Structure 1
Amino acid sequence: MPARSSSLIARPLGQLADTAPTVPDDLPGLLTCLAQVPDPRRDQGRRHPFAFVLSLAAAIAEWAADAPPNVLARLGSPCWEPDRGPVAPAEVTVRRVLQRIDGDALDAAVGSWLAGRERAAGQ
């Protein structure tokens, strides 16, 4: 029997991956539009096209906006609406947080969490 995933969002992400775009012909147009956005990164070390990164960010924002209340609750949503339950933060909130985050602190926190999971799995 395969091991059950401990990820809180693995199932919803799997569902997202299985969902075909409503109008597949629109994706090249979206990528063309996103390619017009100036890339603020240095030339050295660019691995992925900027339009690709932007399209993934848009997909994540869409997923968050459409995430079911039970997933938002499990992810720790403190914001509740009486008729809807937990709600996702607005896109602008996510963008501002990502712009201001200390990348080294995030890396250390996630690394610590992963190390703890590995230790627990080894016991």
Structure 2
Amino acid sequence: MSDRSRPSRAGFVAFLGLLVALVAGYLNDCFAGLGLSPDAGQAVPAGEPAKPSAKPGDRVRVVVQGEQCRVGGDGPLRPCDAVCAEQAAGATVEIDATAGAQRAVDALRTCVQARGAKAQVVSE
């Protein structure tokens, strides 16, 4: 007969499952980069032609989620460089970096500034 009873083994297995679930939730940004998140299927292919969404003097809000970006609060997730290509010189781009990966936010800010637009990073 084993040293452990069945209830203690079941408790250990339940604890182990909970631990795995917590680690998976914590690493959710990593899963988005691998295409394993629920939002990963909504990404627009990078090959689409860029249509200018901002004119000089406009204020545009870009939300960074993981490694992807969306214009406004409800647009589809797309590569951040495609969003950057749509910004016009003289526009102001407000970058919501609350849920974004730091390297994606930095790359978007640098790209927007290189295009002659003003970048304002907002993170809470």
Of Structure 1 and Structure 2, which has the larger fraction of its residues in strand?
2
TM-score, normalisation: structure 1:
0.23
Higher RCO (Cα < 8 Å, 6 or more apart): 2
* Greater Rg by CA: 2
Name whichever structure is richer in helix by fraction: 1
